[in-house]
Structure 1
Amino acid sequence: MAAISSQIILHPTVSQSLKFGGTTLGRDKAYRAIQYFARFYAWFLLSKGDKESAARWNALKTHLTTARKLLRLGKPLEHLQAALKAALVSGPAGEQITTIGRQISYFGYLSFDALVWSNAIKFYSLSSETSTKVSKLANRFWLAGILLSIVNGTLKSVRLAKEERKLKHSKTAWGAEKDAGQDAQQEMRLSTILASRNATRHQLVIDLLDVWIPATNLGISNMNDGVLGICGLITSLIAGQQHWQSVNGKK
């Protein structure tokens, strides 16, 4: 019995899960996945007329939403630092501008979201009208950040595709005249481009699904909670998988 327990408790997957959950980002992605599943499932139960069960899942969604706001309290400064770093690094103008704009937008979103959290836990009470305005401002910054991220990802994808074609063309042109050192250098460069392109595509998929959440909150689109729940669940799983591979040293 002890041997079986040891095999379960000390299993590599358990160790990897603990490492994943030991990071703030890992916990946030796990909570987010459950939060959006709860949003979808509550909608599904309501569509079936099961109001009692739906209320339980809605309560879970609400509490996880509040918990995630607490986890994000320090992130506005991270985005402000990222904006400053992007401004100090030279690069393609379009990508640089959209990166700075995205980081500033997320700074605004998370700053106003912190006010929403403080009001939700009754630490700092806002009037109903002010609370609505703050929530709308947070969603506007969130939407702006995602839209800028989509533009940035599109520009970056186009640039990386051009660089990939150019590199492959140069490999063909050099042919047998290229030495082993040049070949290894070009292979490394190509590998870097492909990795960056895949990461950019993953982020584009996440942004194209997530954009409907603040858009619906602002009344720009009219998605139901079932669709938004599925979108949020998918993007949480994609981001969670990327972080899992990062913390566990996998590619």
Structure 2
Amino acid sequence: MEKVLILIRQTAFRDKLFRLVQYASRLLAHLLEVKRLGGLDGLRARQELIVKLTRLELHLSTARKLLRLGNSADSIYAALRSLHIKNDVHRFTITMSRIASAIFLLIDHWLWVGRVGLAQVDKTKWSSISNRFWLLSILLGLTRDAYDISNYCQASGGLSRALRDRPLLLDTAKNICDLFLPVVSLNYVRLSPGAQGFFGLISSALALAVIAKPSLKLMP
């Protein structure tokens, strides 16, 4: 119980927990919309639940933006620390990914200001820019994952060692799931809200697992 309380006190853990519920709400709302879930009496009850789930998703999204206020500065400091990584590929991909993440979060702060009505914000414009930097951060992360997997393959002549590296495996799976979210928002591909909810749910669960068990975090 003490470990659970320690985790709940962490802002990063609460953010990912809210994210998991947020995308789970999107998935459930879509399933109800296409009538894949039964047990509800009548169309009215189903529509009311869909509205509640949609509102919950919006409220959690806003809460997460509030929780992340200031995280852009943390990403910049993390990028500065990664400049000391010896491996050239790791240094470039990790540093640039953290810089892209910092810009994404900074714009996210601005979007939060607009959402709560503190200023007039062009949501469409800034959301598009934010998603581009989010996508760049993910692509850089996947580049680093592919580089590590390639090194394993060259050293062992197969994927067996890479598949046994749980931090690398989890990081790759999380990045692949996350990749679908900004590309859909940018209209590069089309996915149903249910598919988006599913990928967001999986990536959030993987992120929570890493926070709960730091030994699963990919280093450096």
TM-score category of the 2 structures, normalised to the smaller one: 0.7 to 0.9
Q: 1:52 aligns with which of 33, 48, 51?
A: 48
Match status 1:107 vs 2:102: yes
Cα displacement (A) at 1:15: 2.8
- TM-score by length of structure 1 reads 0.75
Match status 1:29 vs 2:16: yes
Q: 2:135 aligns with which of 143, 151, 155?
A: 143
Hey, what's the Cα distance between the residues in 1 that align with 2:143 and 2:14?
A: 29
Match status 1:117 vs 2:112: yes
Hey, what's the Cα distance between the residues in 1 that align with 2:133 and 2:24?
A: 24
In the alignment, what sits opposite 1:184? none
Greater per-residue helix proportion = 1
- Count of aligned pairs between the two proteins: 203
Q: 2:77 aligns with which of 75, 81, 86?
A: 81
Residues 111 and 126, structure 2, Cα contact 8 Å, conserved in 1:
yes
Match status 1:70 vs 2:50: no
Gaps of 5+ in 2: 36-42, 216-220
Residues 20 and 26, structure 1, Cα contact 8 Å, conserved in 2:
yes
Change in 2 beyond 3 A, CA 1:221/1:111: same
Hey, what's the Cα distance between the residues in 1 that align with 2:211 and 2:94?
A: 21
RMSD: 2.1
In the alignment, what sits opposite 1:132? 124
Residues 163 and 169, structure 2, Cα contact 8 Å, conserved in 1:
no
Superposed structure 1 runs of 4+ greater than 3 Å apart: 160-163, 193-197
C-alpha offsets along residues 101-126 of structure 1, whole Å, 9 cap, x if unaligned? 21111011111111111100011222
Bigger radius of gyration = 1
Gaps of 5+ in 1: 1-13, 167-192
Hey, what's the Cα distance between the residues in 2 that align with 1:228 and 1:125?
A: 28
Hey, what's the Cα distance between the residues in 2 that align with 1:195 and 1:210?
A: 20
C-alpha offsets along residues 119-154 of structure 1, whole Å, 9 cap, x if unaligned? 00011222xxx3211110000000111011100111
Cα displacement (A) at 1:230: 0.9
Hey, what's the Cα distance between the residues in 2 that align with 1:198 and 1:161?
A: 16
Hey, what's the Cα distance between the residues in 1 that align with 2:74 and 2:181?
A: 23
C-alpha offsets along residues 61-81 of structure 1, whole Å, 9 cap, x if unaligned? 000000011111111111111
Residues 95 and 156, structure 1, Cα contact 8 Å, conserved in 2:
no
Hey, what's the Cα distance between the residues in 2 that align with 1:116 and 1:210?
A: 20
SS in 2 for 1:73: coil
In the alignment, what sits opposite 1:175? none
SS in 2 for 1:204: helix
